[in-house]
Amino acid sequence: MERKHLMVFDTTLRDGEQSPGCSMNLKEKLEVARQLDKLKVDVIEAGFAIASPGDFEAVQAVAQTVRNTRVASLSRAMTQDIDRAYEAVKVGEAPRIHTFIATSDIHIQYKLKSTKEEVLERAVAMVKYAKNYLSDVQFSAEDATRTDTAFLYRILEAVIKAGATTVNIPDTVGYTTPDEFYNIITGIRQNVSNIDKAVIAVHCHNDLGMAVANSLAAVKAGAAQVECTINGIGERAGNAAMEEIVMALNTRADQFNGVYTNIEATQLYPASRMLSQITGMRVQRNKAIVGENAFAHESGIHQHGVLANKSTYEIMTPESVGVPTNQLVLGKHSGRHAFEDRLKDLGYTLEKEMLDTVFQAFKILADKKKVVYDRDLEALVQDKTMKMEEHYKLKQFVINCGNQMTATATVKLVNGEEMEEVSTGTGPIYASFGAIDKLVGLAFSLEDYSLQALTEGEDALGEAFVQIRGNNKKYHGSGVSTDVIEASIKAYLNAINRMVSDTKK
Ligand code: KIV
Ligand code: ZN
């Protein structure tokens, strides 16, 4: 059987970043880009260069940083967007300009207030304009799945003639179904005379929960590039999830006529965890491939079957997607070398200074915890490496609380100098957040708070997530500790520090 390579175009840093509360700073975007490089994605859409100076800087920095992957910037079908996109990606080894315009009647009439002829003319002119800069130009027909097919064929043929090397068929509003999408892609292959001169890409949103199924149906029909995000983050209900597409192809190769991706599947779980930590957007426990329960067998019958033979209830192994084993890894007497080796096995190579910091944190944790698991190590690394600029740093806290009394928290922070405040509340978290509010004196509100145990056992690490709203924007924060109040305070400060950094920009 002839094997066919399917290109993976990751848009976590562009469409993914557009999801509410998922914005990332430059350092975080670079961390994600490096992970995408490790995953061996074919294209990274690093942002929308004209959207803001921050976006421009991020696209440029990603293009400068990753060396094995194409880097694209999105641009509307406008000369000023394309100029900006090119300025940002040109420093990369393999730059791409991705230009788009809406093609459905609904969008043309109500959003663009234009006509089909004008849209076609603009699409062709802008592809030609982008071609003056570079050879790798992708054109997207926004809302393609609600576009009159005859017009879709015409515009695709015209942009390919103008030089587009990839034509993307987005299901912008997550409206299509697998059968329909299969037919749309087949129709394009049969009716666009020069389609063999371009790669057909698909970009599916998940409004009806079918983004992955639709993408895979398109692959069966001959699409050669899928657009996706880690954990399926993206506008509204999100985009097709990379981990699901990749593992469906790996696990059911028999169903996909030899189609394969270059994705290093063992990096999928680390990528998922990294993104959750950075964005504060946790994945649901039962999420396919990367959710906490994805490989857990609860019922007695299932456990019995798995013990007898894993293949009874396991269609893929946790190791194949990089889920850390729940084994005892190191104890408090473990040395630095063993620690460093274990981190390397988990895929982390740290600079000496960072290794020292994480090792110290490990020693403190190993003192508190009976058993240290891979997941604990992973949490420590992410907690230390992802740290924001710490405008406000926790020095100390004391809580007095019980079921028959009002909780009182005394919190000491460092912001150049030490400062201390006391506050009361209905519980210890409320009281400590109140003390921090008094200390920082900024206007914002708490929008979301959650806490989860990272591993089993009473002494497990707790991970807190917080979302605050200030300056009309959402900021998230995360924190880990064996003490859930400390984890919560750290998460709260992390979100506040993020807001302070953003307002100082
Ligand atoms: O969903 C969409 O249509 C998009 C395009 C810009 C590709 O994100
Ligand atoms: Zn999209």
Give the ligand with the smallest distance to the CA of 145.
1
> Using a 6 Å cutoff on CB, does residue 15 contact ligand 1?
yes
**Ligand 1 center from residue 41 Cα (angstroms):** 19
Q: Which ligand 1 atom is at minimum distance from the Cα of 144?
A: 3
> Using a 6 Å cutoff on CB, does residue 76 contact ligand 1?
no
**Ligand 2 center from residue 120 Cα (angstroms):** 21
pTM: 0.86
Plot region of 287 (φ>0 → left; ψ -120 to 50 → alpha; else → beta): beta
Residue among 290, 168, 281, 192 nearest 233 (CA)? 281
Helix (H, G, I), strand (E, B) or coil at 166: strand
**Ligand 2 center from residue 138 Cα (angstroms):** 14
Residue among 251, 176, 252 nearest 209 (CA)? 176
pLDDT of 351: 86
Q: Ligand 1 atom 1: the closest Cα is on which residue?
A: 172
> Using a 6 Å cutoff on CB, does residue 170 contact ligand 1?
yes
CA distances from 365 to 368, 415, 461 (A): 5, 26, 9
Q: What pLDDT tens digit does each residue of the chain (505 aa) get?
A: 678 999 999 999 999 998 877 888 898 999 999 999 999 999 999 999 999 999 999 999 999 999 899 999 999 999 999 999 999 999 999 999 999 999 999 999 999 999 999 999 999 999 999 999 999 999 999 999 999 999 999 999 999 999 999 999 999 999 999 999 999 999 999 999 999 999 999 999 999 999 999 999 999 999 999 999 999 999 999 999 999 999 999 999 999 989 999 999 999 999 998 999 888 888 998 999 999 888 876 667 766 777 778 888 789 999 999 987 655 567 777 788 888 888 887 777 888 989 999 999 988 888 887 678 877 888 888 777 766 678 999 999 999 999 999 999 999 999 999 999 999 999 999 999 999 999 999 999 999 999 988 777 777 888 899 999 998 888 888 898 989 999 999 999 999 998 998 887 6
Tell me the HSE value of 109 on the side-chain side, using a 13 A CA sphere: 4
3-state secondary structure 58-122: HHHHHHHHCCCCEEEEEEECCHHHHHHHHHHHCCCCCEEEEEEEECCHHHHHHHHCCCHHHHHHH
Q: What are the strands, taking DSSP E only, across 16-56?
A: 43-47
Alpha helix stretches (DSSP H) within 95-210: 105-106, 116-131, 149-162, 178-191
pLDDT of 54: 92
> Using a 6 Å cutoff on CB, does residue 100 contact ligand 1?
yes
pLDDT of 297: 65
Q: Which residue has the tokens 């071609």?
A: 131
**Ligand 1 center from residue 376 Cα (angstroms):** 37
What single DSSP character describes residue 128?
H
Residue among 326, 290, 297, 292 nearest 314 (CA)? 297
Q: Can you read off the two tokens belonging to residue 402? A: 């019980």
Q: Ligand 1 atom 5: the closest Cα is on which residue?
A: 142
Give the ligand with the smallest distance to the CA of 171.
1
**Contact residues for 341 (Cβ-Cβ < 8 A; gap 6+):** none
Q: Ligand 1 atom 4: the closest Cα is on which residue?
A: 172
Top mutation candidate among 111, 142, 181 for ligand 1, by most atoms within 8 Å of CB = 142
Q: Which ligand 1 atom is at minimum distance from the Cα of 15?
A: 8
3-state secondary structure 276-344: HHHHCCCCCCCCCCCCCCCCCCCCHHHHHHHHHCHHHCCCCCHHHHCCCCCCEEECCCCCHHHHHHHHH
* 71, β-bridge pairs: 44, 95
> Using a 6 Å cutoff on CB, does residue 238 contact ligand 1?
no
Q: Which ligand 1 atom is at minimum distance from the Cα of 205?
A: 1
**Ligand 1 center from residue 12 Cα (angstroms):** 12
For residue 258, the tally of other CB atoms under 10 A from its CB is 11
Cα separation of 129 and 78, whole Å?
A: 9
Amino acid at site 321: V
Cα separation of 291 and 280, whole Å?
A: 15
**Ligand 1 center from residue 129 Cα (angstroms):** 20
Q: Ligand 1 atom 2: the closest Cα is on which residue?
A: 172
Q: Which ligand 1 atom is at minimum distance from the Cα of 227?
A: 7
Q: Which residue has the tokens 């965890």?
A: 273
**Ligand 1 center from residue 316 Cα (angstroms):** 32
**Ligand 1 center from residue 503 Cα (angstroms):** 29
Over its C-alpha atoms, the chain yields an Rg (Å, rounded) of: 25
Cα separation of 51 and 138, whole Å?
A: 19
Q: Which ligand 1 atom is at minimum distance from the Cα of 143?
A: 3
For residue 71, the tally of other CB atoms under 10 A from its CB is 27
CA distances from 356 to 276, 349, 352, 364 (A): 25, 12, 6, 13
Q: Which ligand 1 atom is at minimum distance from the Cα of 140?
A: 7
Cα separation of 189 and 182, whole Å?
A: 11
> Using a 6 Å cutoff on CB, does residue 48 contact ligand 1?
no
Q: Which ligand 1 atom is at minimum distance from the Cα of 168?
A: 7
Residue among 502, 489, 499 nearest 413 (CA)? 489
CA distances from 457 to 373, 453, 481 (A): 11, 9, 14
pLDDT of 312: 83
Helix (H, G, I), strand (E, B) or coil at 477: strand
> Using a 6 Å cutoff on CB, does residue 17 contact ligand 1?
no
